[in-house]
């Protein structure tokens, strides 16, 4: 696959400072498909300098003009959808249809939403005898994960640009080719040199250098809680702004009276989507004891329909996991679930039949999961759902709120009012009511250890602004 051997800095592909490279592997067949440079501190420094130099000009550009550039970026992403989707499928392993519809389709919509928001947002407000100016925070350092490689980048770049910030992106090691295609689109969209810069590299080298760089005013990170803690500490020590989108262990609460088959089917589809590698996946299904066995049987039947297969084949409904480490991690959690006494209903830790190579994991359903078990507490990041039993609503609420996480959730009931009343008591940043659809304008982010800050829509834009009050 085509790969640049340099970094996109100050509007051009520049040679990398070091000689090391990072191999990109296709998780469906374990073959190397390309390599990108492993950036070092000097690359990060050059990128931050370019972003800083471009800041005054971009911040002074009229918001409507920034919106026009974002619209042009959206148009480039649309024009190159098939190509980007193929690259995402090749380096991540998500099924091709999903790559087109979601992995590229959602970033297109998000970029378009910020093109409109830039033009319509009130960057000034009156408060009594003051005028409050909402000004760009400055240079942003964005560190992104591999699970939605384009989405996680546009989630940060689009609002940053709408706000008038400039940005340096350090994408995940596993999915740098998508990031390079994104940088090509940035150039094609006529976004001025230095406004968006890309440095590929290892998290512990390039990522850390970016988080620590004194020229970065805001670090926006999405990924694991372990790394999020480190980034938060670095930012705290330097008194810089930080946004953290971390993991989740979201509950799908099915109350008596809900449409049980639908609630279970939607839940299983949600967990196997992207091979379970979604931070907001509904990985805990909570069912009333009277309906418990019925739900377990429905979930098992539903899960078996997702037969792992080559993600390039449009008929496949479940691709591999991103890499061997993640596959082994997920298998380890499945083994732990069995060890701790959960009932394995379908799936398991063995390689799926007919898939001797590739990092595949079978869709797995656990029943008789109790709240203190590891598989009920920790983020697995694979196609694994844990079904827990509750006695009454208060019990369901205790279980649902009983983890360190608080990213998302879902409630199903006989009517929206009942489900909404329950959702108000959930410690979570997003809750879907009776199968409510994902909304790219709604704030996305976590309660508790799931993170700090919000992405998407106007709330996401506000993260990239700081206020100045003028008194008259
Ligand atoms: P990670 O947190 O290690 O990686 C995310 C990003 O952070 C990557 O770009 C990586 O290069 C960078 N990074 C790593 N160490 C860094 C450091 N010390 N300083 C600065 N940047 C650093 O995530 P992972 O190892 O790829 O995945 C592990 C687990 O994280 C997953 O199993 C899952 O539970 C969770 N995860 C969550 C999300 C999410 O969307 N919330 C996404 C991916 C992974």
Domain residue spans of the chain: 6-246+450-471, 251-439
- Site to probe by mutation for ligand 1, drawn from 224, 429, 453 as the one with most ligand atoms within 8 Å of Cβ, is 224
Tell me which residue has its CA closest to atom 43 in ligand 1.
223
Mutate to test the pocket of ligand 1, among 198, 203, 221, 280 (most ligand atoms within 8 A of CB): 203
* Closest residue CA from atom 12 of ligand 1: 203
- Distance of CA 374 to CAs 284, 288, 335, 351, Å? 12, 21, 11, 22
Over residues 43-72, the pLDDT tens digits come to 999 999 999 999 999 999 999 999 999 999
Ligand 1, residues at Cβ distance < 6 Å: 143-145, 147, 170, 172-173, 203-204, 207-208, 211, 222-224, 227, 230-231, 245-247, 279, 326, 379, 381
Q: In whole angstroms, give the CA distance from residue 275 to residue 173.
A: 19
Q: How far is the CA of 210 from the centre of ligand 1 (A)?
A: 15
Q: How many CA atoms lie within 13 A of 181 on its CB side?
A: 24
Domains 6-246+450-471 and 251-439 share a fold: no
Predicted pLDDT of residue 315:
85
Task: Determine which residue's CA is closest to atom 15 belonging to ligand 1.
Answer: 203
Mutational test site, ligand 1, from 91, 171, 205, 223, max ligand atoms within 8 Å of CB: 223
Cα 437 to ligand 1 centroid, rounded to whole Å:
27
Q: Atom 16, ligand 1: which residue's CA is nearest?
A: 203
CA distance 219 to 188: 26
Query: 215 Cβ partners below 8 Å, 6+ apart?
Result: 48, 49, 51, 52, 139
Pocket test for ligand 1, best of 227, 321, 359, 403 (most atoms within 8 A of CB): 227
Q: Enumerate residue ranges in the chain where pLDDT < 70.
A: none
Report the separation in Å between the CA atom of 221 and the middle of ligand 1, taken as the mean of its atom positions: 9
Distance 224 CA to ligand 1 centre (A): 4
CA of 66 to the centre of ligand 1 (A): 30
Q: Whose CA is nearest to atom 26 of ligand 1?
A: 145
Q: Thinking of the domain 251-439, which architecture would CATH place it in?
A: 3-Layer(aba) Sandwich (3.40)
Q: Which atom of ligand 1 is nearest to the CA of 144?
A: 9
Q: Write down the mean pLDDT value for the chain.
A: 97
How far apart are the CA of 228 and the centre of ligand 1, in A?
A: 8
CA angle 409, 411, 413 (to 5 degrees): 175
Looking at residue 355, its pLDDT comes to 86
Q: Which of 279, 302, 379, 463 is catalytic?
A: 279
Please give the Cα distance from 333 to 348 (Å, whole number): 10
C-alpha–C-alpha distance, residues 295 and 169, integer Å: 43
- Per the annotation, the verdict on 165 as an active-site residue is no
Closest atom, ligand 1, to C-alpha of 146: 43
Residue whose CA lies nearest to ligand 1 atom number 18 = 204
pLDDT at 1: 85
Torsion, Cα 368 373 376 377, to 10 degrees, reads 170
Residue nearest to atom 8 of ligand 1 (CA): 172
Give the span between the Cα atoms of 202 and 269, in whole angstroms.
Answer: 33
Burial class from Cβ neighbours inside 10 Å (0-12, 13-18, 19+) for residue 25 reads buried
* Backbone region of residue 311 per phi and psi (left: phi > 0; alpha: psi in -120 to 50; beta: other values): alpha
- Give the pLDDT score at 354: 86
Q: Are 73 and 50 in contact (CB under 8 A)?
A: no
Say how many Å lie between the CA of residue 289 and the centre of ligand 1.
37
Annotated catalytic residue, options 91, 245, 379, 455: 245
For residues 198 and 176, is the Cβ–Cβ distance under 8 A? no
User: Which tens digit of pLDDT belongs to each residue from 112-121?
Assistant: 999 999 999 9
CA distances, 211 to each of 181, 203, 239 (Å): 23, 10, 12
Whole-model pTM: value is 0.97
Q: Is 279 a catalytic residue?
A: yes
User: Which residue's CA is the closest to the ligand 1 atom numbered 22?
Assistant: 203
Q: Give the distance (Å) from ligand 1 centre to CA of residue 339.
A: 27
CB 254 within 8 A of CB 291: yes
Which architecture does CATH list for 6-246+450-471? Answer: 3-Layer(aba) Sandwich (3.40)
């Amino acid at each position: 696959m085509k790969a640049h051997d340099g970094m996109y800095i100050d509007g051009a592909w520049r040679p990398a400072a070091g000689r090391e490279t990072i191999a990109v592997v296709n998780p469906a067949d374990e073959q190397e498909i390309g390599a990108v440079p492993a950036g070092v501190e000097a690359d990060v420094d050059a990128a931050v300098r370019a972003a800083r130099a471009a800041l005054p000009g971009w911040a002074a550009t009229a918001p409507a003009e920034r919106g026009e550039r974002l619209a042009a970026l959206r148009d480039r992403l649309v024009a190159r959808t098939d190509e980007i989707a193929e690259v995402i499928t090749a380096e991540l392993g998500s099924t091709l249809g999903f790559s087109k519809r979601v992995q590229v389709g959602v970033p297109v919509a998000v970029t378009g939403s910020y093109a409109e928001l830039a033009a319509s947002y009130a960057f000034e407000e009156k408060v009594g005898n003051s005028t409050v100016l909402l000004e760009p925070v400055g240079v942003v350092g964005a560190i992104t994960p591999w699970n939605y490689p384009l989405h996680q980048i546009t989630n940060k770049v689009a609002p940053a640009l709408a706000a008038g910030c400039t940005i340096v992106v350090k994408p995940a090691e596993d999915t740098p080719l998508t990031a390079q295609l994104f940088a090509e689109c940035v150039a094609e969209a006529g976004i001025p040199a230095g406004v968006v810069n890309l440095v590929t590299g290892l998290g512990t080298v390039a990522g850390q250098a970016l988080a620590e760089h004194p020229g970065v005013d805001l670090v926006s990170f999405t990924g694991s809680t372990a790394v999020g803690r480190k980034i938060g500490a670095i930012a705290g020590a330097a008194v810089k702004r930080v946004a953290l989108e971390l993991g989740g262990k979201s509950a799908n609460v099915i109350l008596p009276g809900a449409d049980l088959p639908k609630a279970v089917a939607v839940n299983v589809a949600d967990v196997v989507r992207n091979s379970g590698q979604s931070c907001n996946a509904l990985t805990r299904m909570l069912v009333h004891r009277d309906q418990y066995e019925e739900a377990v049987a429905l979930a098992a039947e539903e899960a078996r329909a997702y037969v792992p297969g080559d993600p390039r084949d449009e008929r496949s409904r479940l691709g591999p996991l991103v890499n061997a480490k993640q596959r082994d991690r997920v298998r380890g959690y499945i083994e732990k679930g069995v060890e701790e006494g959960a009932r394995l209903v379908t799936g398991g830790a063995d390689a799926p039949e007919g898939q001797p190579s590739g990092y595949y994991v079978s869709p797995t359903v656990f029943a008789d999961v109790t709240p203190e078990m590891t598989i009920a507490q920790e983020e697995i990041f694979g196609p694994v759902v844990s079904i827990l039993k509750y006695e009454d609503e208060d019990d369901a609420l205790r279980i649902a709120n009983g983890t360190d996480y608080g990213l998302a959730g879902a409630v199903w009931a006989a009517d929206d009012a009942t489900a909404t009343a329950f959702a108000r008591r959930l410690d979570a940043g997003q809750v879907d009511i009776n199968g409510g659809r994902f909304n790219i304008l709604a704030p996305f982010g976590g309660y508790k250890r799931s993170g700090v800050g919000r992405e998407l829509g106007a709330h996401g834009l506000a993260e990239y602004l700081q206020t100045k009050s003028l008194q008259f």
